[in-house]
């Protein structure tokens, strides 16, 4: 299956086969996009908010896409090696040095609020400087945090299921994760007393990144994402998941 996907992707990149015409039966998973995010943004069955927007963008340019959930670092490594076709919710300029085969679709997919969570009622965190005296946990592979977090102790874990228990277990004072998803996860994991600290530490525009063999797809995908925003489909995806649509960017 993996070799078949790579073969199809290589032919597309070389222009040896065309995108599937509108109305034609499309092969399953012509494009496989990695994700390390969680509900409501992303899910293992590809029905998360950003999953649906990404899949729809590919559909509008005649390609069928699937989402493959992986740990954050592994998802990047696979995309850079060409084992998958790309990754969602990444910052291309942050990835360039370590992942030279990844290129960004030039349209914001989602503005991600990186939020501090804690169980301590006395704790107030306004910016990254406030983390200097704290024990801070975050996900391995989230490059913007790797570059900016300077803490008394830093704990890097593979996924959110390992991240949030650091708080009630007393191993971390703060963990950093996407705001909406973090609250959803804490509730789902039945972890008590976890609260999000406002405002977010940083809100970062995030993009769909592709392996450079798909470079020709960047302009049409950017146009498709813009059209999804313009025709109301983008906001509808958030509302259908019970979330307030973010401000347009």
**Digit-coded pLDDT (tens) for 112-142:** 999 999 999 999 999 999 999 999 999 998 8
**Digit-coded pLDDT (tens) for 171-183:** 999 999 999 899 8
| 23 pLDDT more than 60 | no
pLDDT, position 177: 96
**Is 164 in contact with 175 (CB distance < 8 Å)?**
yes
Q: Is the dihedral of CA 36, 106, 51, 180 positive or negative?
A: positive
Residues ≥6 apart with Cβ < 8 Å to 171:
135, 137, 155
| 7 pLDDT more than 90 | no
pLDDT, position 144: 86
Q: What is the mean pLDDT of the chain?
A: 90
**2-110+207-240 CATH pick, 3.40.50.10440, 3.40.190.10, 3.90.330.10, 1.10.1740.10:** 3.40.190.10
CATH of domain 112-203: 3.40.190.10
Q: What is the 3-state secondary structure (H, E, C) of the chain?
A: CHHHHHHHHHHHHHCCCCCCCCCCCCCCCCEEEEECCCCCCCCCCCCCHHHHHHHHHHHHCCCCEEEEECCHHHHHHHHHHCCCCEEEEECHHHHCCCCCCEEECCCCCEEEEEEEEECCCCCCCCCHHHHCCCEEEEECCCHHHHHHCCCCEEEEECCHHHHHHHCCCCCCCEEEEEHHHHHHHHHHCCCCCCEEEEEEEEEEEEEEEEEHHHHHHHHHHHHHHHHHHHCCHHHHHHHHCCCCCCCCC
**Is 139 in contact with 178 (CB distance < 8 Å)?**
no
Parse the chain into domains and list their residue ranges. 2-110+207-240, 112-203
- Cα 242 to Cα 237: distance, rounded to the nearest angstrom: 9
| 40 pLDDT more than 70 | yes
Q: Which pTM value belongs to this model? A: 0.82
Mean pLDDT of 141-162: 92
Mean pLDDT of 227-238: 98
Mean pLDDT of 37-61: 96
């Amino acid at each position: 299956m993996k070799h078949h996907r790579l073969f199809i992707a290589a032919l597309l990149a070389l222009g040896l086969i065309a995108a599937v015409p509108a109305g034609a039966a499309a092969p399953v998973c012509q494009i496989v996009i990695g994700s390390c995010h969680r509900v409501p943004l992303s899910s293992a069955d590809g029905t998360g908010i950003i999953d649906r927007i990404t899949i729809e963008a590919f559909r509008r340019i005649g390609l069928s896409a699937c989402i493959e959930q992986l740990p954050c670092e592994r998802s990047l490594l696979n995309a850079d090696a060409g084992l998958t076709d790309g990754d969602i919710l990444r910052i291309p300029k942050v990835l360039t040095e370590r992942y030279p085969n990844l290129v960004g679709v030039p349209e914001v997919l989602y503005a991600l609020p990186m939020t501090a969570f804690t169980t301590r009622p006395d704790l107030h965190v306004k910016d990254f400087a406030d983390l200097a005296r704290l024990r801070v946990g975050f996900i391995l592979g989230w490059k913007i945090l790797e570059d900016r977090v300077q803490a008394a102790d830093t704990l890097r874990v593979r996924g959110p299921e390992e991240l949030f228990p650091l708080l009630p277990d007393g191993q971390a004072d703060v963990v950093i994760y996407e705001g909406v998803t973090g609250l959803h996860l804490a509730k789902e994991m039945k972890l008590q007393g976890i609260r999000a600290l406002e405002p977010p530490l940083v809100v970062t525009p995030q993009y769909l990144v592709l392996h450079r063999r798909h470079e020709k797809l960047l302009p049409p995908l950017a146009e498709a994402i813009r059209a999804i925003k313009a025709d109301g489909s983008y906001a509808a995806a958030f509302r259908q998941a019970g979330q307030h649509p973010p401000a347009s960017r």
